[in-house]
């Protein structure tokens, strides 16, 4: 069997509609490896053939439930690619409950880093490859401001997700 042009062997991808735009879900057949929101209508992995599997279908269902206000947390096997530091940050932000927020400095402190590490924490949060499920939108500046968001259309997308969860911000 030959692979589709531009496809990555062993990787599957589906694209689903959502209130924040097209969401691309990528997996390896056993776990979700990426969830990204299209930016400017462009998907991150357009060359990857569209092929579903049960894990991706489950992720799509859980995301639909989240946007409908019926799901407060996700139950999916995840395999984000990143450095050990990034994975530690993503694991910590995964523990931020629905409807609440943490600050970059709090995330760093919880991991044993000084406040001066907030920029490094911010960079790891911004590199999160599994948006929404690993809830990087729940991380705010110390004064409650939104300082950025790499998913979808950026800050407007983050505002939508915070509003959906009832999380106050400045």
* 170 domain residue, yes or no: no
CB 23 within 8 A of CB 15: yes
* 67 domain residue, yes or no: no
Averaged pLDDT for residues 124-140: 97
Residue 12 has pLDDT above 60, yes or no: yes
Phi and psi of 57, rounded to 5°?
A: -60, -40
Q: Provide the token pair at 161.
A: 């997700």
The more confidently predicted of residues 144 and 8 is 144
What 8-state DSSP symbol labels residue 4? P
Averaged pLDDT for residues 85-96: 98
To the nearest whole percent, how much of the chain has pLDDT over 70?
A: 91
What 8-state DSSP symbol labels residue 117? G
Residue span of the structural domain in which 116 resides: 84-165
Residue 6 has pLDDT above 60, yes or no: no
Q: Provide the token pair at 156.
A: 């407007």
Residue 104 has pLDDT above 80, yes or no: yes
Averaged pLDDT for residues 105-120: 95
Averaged pLDDT for residues 22-45: 91
**Residues belonging to the active site:** 136
Residue 4 has pLDDT above 50, yes or no: no
Q: How confident is the model at residue 5 (pLDDT cuts 50, 70, 90)?
A: very low
* 121 domain residue, yes or no: yes
Count of domains observed in the chain: 1
Q: What CATH number does the domain containing 160 carry?
A: 1.10.10.10
What 8-state DSSP symbol labels residue 134? S
* 114 domain residue, yes or no: yes
Pick the closest to residue 149 from 166, 131, 168, 167 (CA basis): 131
Instruction: Note the helical H segments in the chain.
Output: 54-67, 84-94, 104-110, 118-126, 155-165
């Amino acid at each position: 069997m030959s692979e589709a042009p531009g496809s990555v062997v062993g990787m599957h991808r589906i694209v689903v509609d959502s209130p924040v735009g097209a969401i691309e879900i990528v997996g390896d057949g056993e776990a979700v490896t990426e969830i990204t929101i299209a930016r400017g209508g462009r998907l991150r992995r357009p060359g990857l053939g569209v092929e579903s599997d049960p894990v991706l279908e489950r992720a799509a269902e859980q995301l639909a439930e989240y946007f409908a206000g019926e799901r407060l947390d996700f139950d999916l096997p995840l395999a984000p690619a990143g450095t050990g530091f990034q994975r530690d940050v993503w694991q910590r932000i995964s523990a931020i409950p629905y409807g609440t927020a943490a600050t970059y400095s709090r995330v760093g402190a919880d991991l044993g880093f000084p406040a001066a590490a907030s920029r490094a924490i911010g960079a790891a949060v911004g590199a999160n490859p599994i948006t929404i499920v690993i809830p990087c939108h729940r991380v705010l500046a110390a004064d409650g401001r939104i300082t950025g968001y790499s998913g979808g259309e950026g800050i407007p997308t983050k505002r939508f997700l915070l509003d959906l969860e009832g999380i106050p911000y400045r």
